[in-house]
């Protein structure tokens, strides 16, 4: 088991407003970790800090990331109606951001695998601009997965999906995470699937972080429970 993320007394604040006051945790590879929390709890702040630490490869900060290859799928992304590339070209574009222009045989295979894995074969050569919202979302994730990352960060990838499609996406991500031995950080508001499908939860609340086994998700962190409570009142 390899440590991918080590957070040691991390603090985040906007001006005088403290978002996270003294956060420490360690995450290893080969896990699907769901990051939970109310709006403004600091999910994006934490993930952005992790991403910056990974990209700058700082050795002295409060966050250390040991990942050679990082992929990130932001929550909002729209390539616009006149975006020219096909889904296949878009996925191939993201495989590598250095080195020679052409892809190796194995990189081409990773692109083809990602297209197949996320059910994009039938529309792979169509412009991504013409794809539906759900197809675009799958293409964004396929692009990230084709990079063969050690660390994959997904920012609310299922926010526009119904429960059936969310479960299908969870299954696809779970499978790729296990096959490629990566750490997946999945920011989510919807916790309905967490207990049965994720390994761990990272719950941000009261400026602190709780890390635990997904099957032991506290009732207070469970959105399905919160929805029931809201419904009663």
Partner 1 sequence: MFSEPYMVHAFVAGTVIAIVSALVGTFVVARSYNFLTHSLSEIAFAGAAMGFWLGFAPLMGMIALTALSALAIGSLENAKVKSDNVTSAISALAIGLGILFLALGHSSSSSATGILFGSVLGISLSDIYLLLGMAALVMALILFFYRPLSLLAFDEEGLLMSRNKKGLLRIFFLLIMALSVAISSQLVGSLLVFVLVTLPAASARTFQKSVVGLIGMSMFFALFGTWMGLSLAYLTNLPTSVFIALIEVGIYLMSLLMQKMN
| Residue 67 Cβ vs partner 1, minimum distance, rounded to whole Å | 11
- Which stretch, 7-15, 41-49, 79-87, 110-118, contacts partner 1 (CB under 8 A)? 79-87
Task: Choose between 48 and 223: whose C-beta lies nearer to partner 1.
Answer: 48
Which one of residues 9, 59, 60, 101 is an interface residue with partner 1 (CB under 8 A)? 101
Residues in the chain: 233
End-to-end CA distance of the chain: 45
Q: Considering just the CA atoms, what is the radius of gyration of the chain in Å?
A: 18
Can you tell me which of 12, 45, 66, 93 binds partner 1, judged by CB under 8 A? 93
Give residues 40-59 in contact with partner 1 (rule: CB under 8 A).
Answer: 51-52, 55-56
Burial of 59 (0-12, 13-18, 19+ CB in 10 A): exposed
Cα–Cα distances in angstroms (integers) from residue 47 to residues 113, 147, 169, in the given order: 27, 19, 21
User: Counting contacts by CB under 8 A, is residue 19 touching partner 1?
Assistant: no
- Within 184-223, the residues that bind partner 1 by CB under 8 A are none
Residue 61 makes contact with partner 1 by CB under 8 A:
no
**Pick 184 or 209: Cβ nearer partner 1:** 184
The 113-142 site mask, x for binding partner 1 (CB under 8 A), equals: ------------xxx---------------
Tokens of 205: 């609340």
CB of 92 to partner 1, least distance (A): 8
The residue from 64, 137, 143, 166 that contacts partner 1 (CB under 8 A) is: 143
- Span of 37-45, 78-86, 187-195, 206-214 interacting with partner 1 by CB under 8 A: 78-86
Interface contacts to partner 1, rule CB under 8 A: 51-52, 55-56, 70-72, 74, 77, 79, 82, 84-86, 88-90, 92-94, 96-101, 125-127, 143
């Amino acid at each position: 088991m390899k440590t991918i993320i080590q957070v040691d007394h991390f603090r985040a604040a906007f001006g005088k407003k403290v978002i996270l006051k003294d956060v420490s945790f360690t995450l290893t590879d080969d896990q699907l970790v769901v990051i939970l929390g109310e709006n403004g709890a600091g999910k994006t702040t934490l993930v952005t800090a992790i991403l910056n630490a990974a990209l700058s490869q700082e050795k002295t900060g409060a966050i250390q990331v040991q990942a050679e290859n990082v992929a990130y799928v932001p929550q909002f992304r729209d390539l616009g109606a006149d975006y020219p590339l096909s889904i296949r070209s878009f996925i191939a574009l993201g495989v590598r951001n250095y080195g020679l222009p052409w892809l190796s045989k194995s990189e081409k295979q990773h692109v083809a695998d990602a297209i197949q894995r996320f059910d994009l074969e039938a529309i792979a050569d169509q412009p991504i601009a013409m794809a539906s919202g759900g197809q675009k979302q799958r293409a964004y994730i396929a692009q990230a997965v084709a990079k063969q990352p050690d660390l994959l960060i997904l920012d609310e990838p299922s926010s526009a999906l119904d429960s059936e499609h969310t479960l299908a996406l969870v299954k696809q991500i779970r499978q790729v995470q296990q096959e490629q031995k990566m750490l997946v950080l999945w920011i989510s508001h919807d916790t309905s699937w967490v207990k049965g499908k994720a390994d761990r939860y990272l719950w941000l609340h009261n400026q602190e972080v709780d890390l635990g086994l997904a099957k032991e998700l506290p009732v207070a962190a469970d959105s399905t429970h919160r929805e029931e409570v809201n419904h009663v009142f």
